[in-house]
Structure 1
Amino acid sequence: MNYLKFMPWLAAAAITLGSPSVSSEVIFEEDFDNQPDFTSTMHTTTQSQYKDAHVLPDNWDALHQGTQWSPEKGYPDNHASLEILGSNSDKARGGAGKSMVNWRESYSMGWKNWASDSQLLKLLPQQYDQLYVEFWIAFSSNWYGRQNASGFSSKLFRVGSWTGQGDVFNGAGGELGPIFLWDYKRDNYGIRNVTAYRGNPEEGNYFMNKSAPEFPRFVSKNFGSHTLGEGMDDTDPLVLDQIMGGYLKDISSSVVIGHDQLFGAGQHWTKMGFYVKLNSAPNMADGQLMIFVNGQRVLSLEAIPWIKGTEETKMRGWNYFAIGGNDYLQPYPNEQRFEDWYAIDDVVVRNDIPSHLLSPSPSKEAPSPPTEISVD
């Protein structure tokens, strides 16, 4: 595959980073409503798909899929791992139009394998030293993490840098990095904010814990006590407890926070936001990461050495992001063909943080739990 063929700007973009400070702009938007009907296996069952060789959703550049039981594989009652369909309008934000629906499969190969995959990737028009990506997410009523604590997890979002050489889905060759990943996990400690970090250059910094122990390969925090002081100006974020009322920040670290308390019961939509900023020069520990839930900052890191090396090391910019990802899920036997889903809608990518996120939320009385719940 000639990867530069389908995005020739990458060679030039590797030379000059964008200048987000010059102007604030939206780089990319997607609400899926005008997309042709699409599933990850309706045109081909190939695992890695690229826009110069395969049919993909409009304005998207690559897809990595893993599906065991789609109709094209002989299972008409099951689903491809990724669907954008008019028939799924009930799974779109607002109950009309389309969204990206990601189906997870409980499938085991006898080990801790990551089976189903639904990674939809967008290459950006240049390299940026900072990016902000937001989207809305909802989960099926049978979502395994609602009532079940386990070690199962799914990668839901990533943003990174790619040289344009090698495989954009495989970091083993040193052409990817830095990368930030956000995972879904609900274990015995409750719903988790799982973050993962990959640096550059690969040798010595791809798994950053080798050179930056404070940024291990994965970090797992709760959405309650671990968010204290993480809001703007070191305030506490006011993330609503969707079940009990009040705020998640006030829940004791000894109390487990469930899926529905953060993401809501039934088909409730939650707005996620992610901000990444490169370090200013190789080895400088001043890179940043912020995560927002419904406009509330729940994580802020300001000392990340995304890129290490020497004075001769070339800086890399953020130039792609992907929604969806691979899933480690195997609570049921394969013959049961269990599936659950999450949907993503209304994606926006900017070269800065929206101004309304930069001010701390005013103190206010903790609200009561919601009275209206939409159930799918």
Structure 2
Amino acid sequence: MMNREFRSLVFVVSACSVFLSGGLHSEVLFEEDFDSQPDFTSTMHTTEKRQESSSGDILPKGWNALYQTTAWSPETGYPSKHATLEILSSNADKAMGGTGKSAVMYRESSSNQWNSDSQLVKLLDQGVDELYVEFYIRFSDNWWHRANYANYASKMFRIGHWDGVRDLFNGALGGLGPLVFWDYKRDQYGMSNFLSFRGGPGDEGNNYYLNGEYPDYVSLGYGYFTLEEAPGGTDPLVVNQVEGGYLKDIGRYDPITHEQVFGTTEHWTKLGFYVRMNSAIGAADGIFRMWVNDQRIVNREKIPFVQPNTDNAMLKWNYIAIGGNDNFFPYPADQLFEDWYAIDNIVVRSDMPVNLGVSDTLGDVAPTPPSDLVVE
């Protein structure tokens, strides 16, 4: 075991290596707190599903595309209901600090299909080999999963590669991949950290899926399944927002609730995501990591994101999207049930922040201290 002095030296060398090898080009690629955005909803200017700035559609400043399937909003004949995406000054109570704006995504229990889509897309100016994204998320007081569970899921975030030509929203049509999706889910087993992995290039037959080289879907928990996932093989210290202590200490077969992870209505949770493309076509060394309140809960380092392809092409990450569609229908459509979640303070970087820990040939740095990051 390394003594403290040597481990400190490793940390310094690791940090210097990051700076020298990647820091010269590492930068913040995009930031969004929504406060200076003009008021916008996904049905304010058009009720079309596909909205793209390149086609002249009016979108939030700095964003490139939106796919929405609102059933109920003022523009569709329901004056007291909401579009699936709102960025409004009247929603200041749904923004961090209680002022400004945020992206508020409404889920509609309108059918037994994937519905109430709210996918807002940001295209990067150029592709990068690694990408880190963080944002804060909060859920409404009537969020259905606070008191209930079922086999429903909501797509809330994705990172990917788009070929710039074909469909930007549907991966099955060949223009997307690799991709990573983060889904919200709470079923009979408790809160599920549901991840989907897709390969690329997406037009190479089965390359959109990983051909058995890596799981296409991974359902993890926020407690037992995070053990040893923090830097150095330690356990993440994610605070239990209900009982105190840490989620890692909840028994393997004890379902974890929504509020144990995400807290009460006014609680904002910081999420972080990092991807690194594999080093060569077919190489099983791509990386995905995820943090809750700066505590790393997922560390995957053997993902063959780019698969063999006829063009012998390596790909880069070049877009992110917040929101998505919902497989959510606890009530019949005539009840017009809606709940919402809000996303705020997005930061996109071309590298992983050093304070979150480096995992390369020089080893992990020590984990950061726990933080529950309550923002009232």
Per the normalisation by structure 2, the TM-score is 0.89
Structure 1 CA distance for aligned equivalents of residues 310 and 104 of structure 2: 44
Is 1:91 the counterpart of 2:94? The answer is yes
Is 1:40 the counterpart of 2:42? The answer is yes
Counterpart code for 1:211: G
Against the structure 1 CA distance between its residues 356 and 186, is the aligned structure 2 distance closer, same or farther, given a 3 Å change threshold? same
**1:144-183 mapped onto 2 (5 Å cutoff):** 144-183=144-183
Which residue matches 1:69?
Answer: 72
CA contact 1:282–1:311 (8 Å) conserved in 2? no
1:231-273 CA-to-partner distances (Å, cap 9, x unmatched) read: 0111100000000000001111011100000000122100000
- In the TM superposition, residue 166 of structure 1 has moved relative to its aligned partner by 1.2
CA contact 1:66–1:115 (8 Å) conserved in 2? yes
- In the TM superposition, residue 312 of structure 1 has moved relative to its aligned partner by 5.1
* Partner of residue 361 from structure 1, selected from 337, 358, 367: 367
Structure 1 CA distance for aligned equivalents of residues 189 and 289 of structure 2: 22
CA contact 1:157–1:181 (8 Å) conserved in 2? yes
- In the TM superposition, residue 310 of structure 1 has moved relative to its aligned partner by 5.5
Structure 1 CA distance for aligned equivalents of residues 163 and 375 of structure 2: 45
1:138-188 CA-to-partner distances (Å, cap 9, x unmatched) read: 000000111101011100000100111111112223221000000000000
CA contact 1:150–1:186 (8 Å) conserved in 2? yes
Structure 2 CA distance for aligned equivalents of residues 152 and 20 of structure 1: 40
Which residue matches 2:28?
Answer: 26
Structure 2 CA distance for aligned equivalents of residues 144 and 25 of structure 1: 38
Structure 2 CA distance for aligned equivalents of residues 87 and 296 of structure 1: 33
Structure 1 CA distance for aligned equivalents of residues 289 and 74 of structure 2: 40
Structure 1 CA distance for aligned equivalents of residues 291 and 229 of structure 2: 10
CA contact 2:356–2:368 (8 Å) conserved in 1? no
Counterpart code for 1:280: S
Counterpart code for 1:298: I
CA contact 1:215–1:304 (8 Å) conserved in 2? no
- In the TM superposition, residue 23 of structure 1 has moved relative to its aligned partner by 2.5
Q: Which runs of 5+ in 1 are unaligned?
A: 1-18
* Partner of residue 109 from structure 2, selected from 101, 106, 110: 106
- In the TM superposition, residue 205 of structure 1 has moved relative to its aligned partner by 2.4
- In the TM superposition, residue 373 of structure 1 has moved relative to its aligned partner by 9.0
Structure 1 CA distance for aligned equivalents of residues 242 and 47 of structure 2: 41
Which residue matches 1:185?
Answer: 185
Is 1:258 the counterpart of 2:260? The answer is no
SS at match of 1:94: helix
Is 1:82 the counterpart of 2:88? The answer is no
CA-atom RMSD in angstroms: 1.8
- In the TM superposition, residue 313 of structure 1 has moved relative to its aligned partner by 1.5
Which residue matches 2:301?
Answer: 302
Against the structure 1 CA distance between its residues 307 and 373, is the aligned structure 2 distance closer, same or farther, given a 3 Å change threshold? closer
Structure 1 CA distance for aligned equivalents of residues 82 and 192 of structure 2: 27
1:78-119 CA-to-partner distances (Å, cap 9, x unmatched) read: 0000000000000001110000000000011xxx41010111
Is 1:56 the counterpart of 2:56? The answer is no
Structure 2 CA distance for aligned equivalents of residues 278 and 65 of structure 1: 29
Which residue matches 2:215?
Answer: 215
Against the structure 1 CA distance between its residues 312 and 336, is the aligned structure 2 distance closer, same or farther, given a 3 Å change threshold? closer
SS at match of 1:276: strand
SS at match of 1:23: coil
Counterpart code for 2:267: H
Q: Which runs of 5+ in 2 are unaligned?
A: 1-20, 358-364
Structure 1 CA distance for aligned equivalents of residues 66 and 117 of structure 2: 9
**1:278-297 mapped onto 2 (5 Å cutoff):** 278-297=277-296
Counterpart code for 1:30: E
Structure 1 CA distance for aligned equivalents of residues 87 and 241 of structure 2: 28
Structure 1 CA distance for aligned equivalents of residues 26 and 201 of structure 2: 29
- In the TM superposition, residue 224 of structure 1 has moved relative to its aligned partner by 0.4
Against the structure 1 CA distance between its residues 303 and 356, is the aligned structure 2 distance closer, same or farther, given a 3 Å change threshold? same
Which residue matches 2:134?
Answer: 134
Which residue matches 1:115?
Answer: 115
1:286-327 CA-to-partner distances (Å, cap 9, x unmatched) read: 000000000000000000000111595201100000000101
1:59-83 CA-to-partner distances (Å, cap 9, x unmatched) read: 0000001100100011001000000
CA contact 2:201–2:315 (8 Å) conserved in 1? no
Counterpart code for 1:71: P
- In the TM superposition, residue 361 of structure 1 has moved relative to its aligned partner by 2.9
Structure 1 CA distance for aligned equivalents of residues 174 and 233 of structure 2: 37
Against the structure 1 CA distance between its residues 314 and 71, is the aligned structure 2 distance closer, same or farther, given a 3 Å change threshold? same
Per the normalisation by structure 1, the TM-score is 0.89
SS at match of 1:154: strand
Structure 1 CA distance for aligned equivalents of residues 246 and 312 of structure 2: 45
Counterpart code for 1:295: D
Report how many aligned residue pairs link the two structures.
Answer: 346
Structure 1 CA distance for aligned equivalents of residues 312 and 337 of structure 2: 48
- In the TM superposition, residue 20 of structure 1 has moved relative to its aligned partner by 4.6
